[in-house]
Amino acid sequence: MAYNITKLLSLVSLLLCLSFCTIGVVHARPPFACDPHNPITRGLKFCRVTVPIHVRVQDLIGRLTLQEKIRLLVNNAIAVPRLGIQGYEWWSEALHGVSNVGPGTRFGGAFPGATSFPQVITTAASFNESLWQEIGRVVSDEARAMYNGGMAGLTYWSPNVNIFRDPRWGRGQETPGEDPVLAAKYAARYVKGLQGDGAGNRLKVAACCKHYTAYDLDNWNGVNRFHFNARVSKQDLVDTYDVPFKACVVEGNVASVMCSYNQVNGKPTCADPDLLKGTIRGQWRLNGYIVSDCDSVGVLYDEQHYTRTPEEAAADAIKAGLDLDCGPFLAIHTEAAVRRGLVSQLEINWALANTMTVQMRLGMFDGEPSAHQYGNLGPRDVCTPAHQQLALEAARQGIVLLENRGRSLPLSTRRHRTVAVIGPNSDVTVTMIGNYAGVACGYTTPLQGIGRYTRTIHQAGCTDVHCNGNQLFGAAEAAARQADATVLVMGLDQSIEAEFVDRAGLLLPGHQQELVSRVARASRGPTILVLMSGGPIDVTFAKNDPRISAIIWVGYPGQAGGTAIADVLFGTTNPGGKLPMTWYPQNYVTHLPMTDMAMRADPARGYPGRTYRFYRGPVVFPFGLGLSYTTFAHNLAHGPTLVSVPLTSLKATANSTMLSKAVRVSHADCNALSPLDVHVDVKNTGSMDGTHTLLVFTSPPDGKWAASKQLVGFHKIHIAAGSEKRVRIAVHVCKHLSVVDRFGIRRIPLGEHKLQIGDLSHNVSLQTNLGEIKV
């Protein structure tokens, strides 16, 4: 009897396990195409993995009807059941973590969320290239896992690498900042992280650099992105706006580029063959596809009235080099365009070849996904402890210490046993992940983070960041009077700055400034101002208020933002971030239209110029500022002072060189030039271990064509207190000491160039084998 009861209990346990133990188990997605169990596809050449991809693509295109081809030109591509091909949604996003903004990705079931890293502007402030690539690698792990579970695609329309030109731009938060070199390095490294090592021309996921080009206005003063014609000089296009996109393609080998809504010099970017076929695919040799921003093709017809008929719009876009339409326009109007002779099937075939090649590089036509390189990734690979730790580390590295009077920070758990935590962003969650985010694994708010160190008294002060009244200020002041220290967490959120929401000005919204000043007056201990925002804020009042002890910018710090903020406040983390954009005073934008795309200052018309490269006026905080709890000293150990630039042909270059006092880069023998080695010794002269970023700027000889200084590189090093490290800086003459003239031609100015490395300055004089030309 006892045996039978034991047997019965075992059977019940087995049945319960069969019923409940499968909850959360993910069944492998069926193959997208070329299912080995499908008799339809077994003999098809495009399914044979041993055949070269270009041959497989040609075979597949040759089997499609015109109607099928046209329905594959859009993001929600149709299934082709007769060839065993499923439908596919191309639009997924992964700006700083797998996102559900696009219809290609959803959360739920075994995938309730994904690791939400800091917003890009925050991560850029780390100036840490290896961190950017590692974040990309983790995001693509989670993306592949969700694809395997049937919850996501493999084509991610990220990153956004536009230049943060105007501080009011609502989408500046999505970008790596205002400097083209910084944005370029971020772009290449994040793309490499997402796409994998590229072995065998294969892709882990397909990244996409957007929005090409000169796109940095959404909705300002009655002008929106759908109707904006960006008038851009050839000089600014080459040496500013296009720089990150070129790096994406040439250095990152990105699988896609997205064209933007706006026009550039009178032509919609998605219908401009000079930009698409000529530059992206021709000059830069894109190995991938070009996609429109969503409904851009419709916009160029419906809103911009660029063509007389919708068929002409469809034909112009395809003939310009567009391969995929995010939106229905090409699916609706391309067949009529073919019938009218406006576009040929051959041109459609070229577009399909570009998209299908990417799908094949992703392995989507290789049969059973679970049998391939990333087929083992699943729910256990999403929101892992290691991934969440990386999100925390990224937030720590992106925090920037802007002001620290009398070394008020770090706070002490012994001396500051009670901390008042005040402000509309003091206990937020979703605000910390910014836009183009997904569902985070979990959150630690600033209040919760600080509460792990000490006792807290919390008052919001304002009901939200708009802070339309001061009714709650009295309670906030009372809290500050009771505490040993006060932390004000102020700033912005997506209701103030976002896609299609550009700011009107740079000041704190509503009554936030009044709250800060009143609380600072009431506080019996140090008052710390923490700013959460994507764009810069004019906090001149706080900078000039001696009662505000320290100012910290945290961007949008991601799911672990509260922990990172607290770690910096209490000195567990020594801050090492630096501003990736200039913080301007409010009067900078008062009479400056966002629509003026010129980078260079023009005193004749009272135009101040854009970014640290061209603007010379007063700032609240400069590009590259970032303080530490320790101090660093620099010493130049070695650096050349005179360099001869070899020319490829004296006859071809003599006149050009003599007239412009500069050598065309195309006329210099760059391969014969070794990098200039500059060695700098960096010593931590303080009492705390710290991470230090050496920013390397160059300044050319005087000339109207160039910025007065330009970031050319950066080096991040960790140095223990009292220790010293030597940093080798490689300066490439053709790349780092060249400038772009008004015709868009890159030249090497001859004469004396200045290298600025931290607080050091070193001069290098360039001459040619024609002899030195004094400038």
Residues annotated catalytic, as ranges: 293
**Parallel, antiparallel or unpaired: strands 219-220 and 223-224:** antiparallel
Query: For residues 183, 184, 185 and 186, what is the CA-based torsion angle, rounded to 10 degrees?
Result: 50
Query: For residues 531, 537, 543 and 547, what is the CA-based torsion angle, rounded to 10 degrees?
Result: -40
DSSP state letter for 469: -
Our CA angle for 458, 409, 620, nearest 5°, is 90
* H-run or E-run covering 487: strand 485-491
Our CA angle for 200, 203, 207, nearest 5°, is 140
Cα 212 to Cα 5, 248, 260, 575, distances in angstroms: 71, 11, 5, 34
- In three-state secondary structure terms, 82 is helix
- The Cα–Cα gap between 132 and 134 comes to 5
Phi and psi torsions of 752, nearest 5°: -95, 120
Handedness of CA 554, 560, 563, 568 (dihedral sign): negative
- The Cα–Cα gap between 259 and 273 comes to 12
Tokens 């690791």 belong to 115
Q: Report CA 503 to chain centroid distance, whole Å.
A: 20
Q: Which residues pair with 72 in a beta bridge?
A: none
- The Cα–Cα gap between 261 and 619 comes to 32
Cis-peptide, bond into residue 328, ω within 30° of zero: no
- The Cα–Cα gap between 388 and 393 comes to 9
Cα 523 to Cα 408, 519, 527, distances in angstroms: 14, 6, 7
CB count within 10 Å of CB 75 equals 24
Query: For residues 517, 450, 632 and 697, what is the CA-based torsion angle, rounded to 10 degrees?
Result: -70
Please provide the size of the chain in residues. Answer: 775
In order, the DSSP letters of 552-596 are EE--S--TTHHHHHHHHHTTSS------SS-B--HHHHHT--TT-
In order, the DSSP letters of 265-277 are TTEEGGG-TIIII
From 585, 610, 501, 621, select the one nearest 173 (Cα to Cα). Answer: 501
- The Cα–Cα gap between 172 and 536 comes to 10
- The Cα–Cα gap between 92 and 102 comes to 5
- The Cα–Cα gap between 87 and 331 comes to 14
Question: Both tokens of residue 70?
Answer: 């046209």
Tokens 């294969």 belong to 202
Phi and psi torsions of 695, nearest 5°: -95, 130
- The Cα–Cα gap between 371 and 481 comes to 64
- In three-state secondary structure terms, 89 is strand
DSSP state letter for 21: T
Determine contact, residues 394/126, Cβ cutoff 8 Å: yes
From 130, 143, 182, select the one nearest 161 (Cα to Cα). Answer: 182
- The Cα–Cα gap between 83 and 66 comes to 15
- The Cα–Cα gap between 739 and 367 comes to 50
- Bin 507: left if φ > 0, else alpha if -120 < ψ < 50, else beta: beta
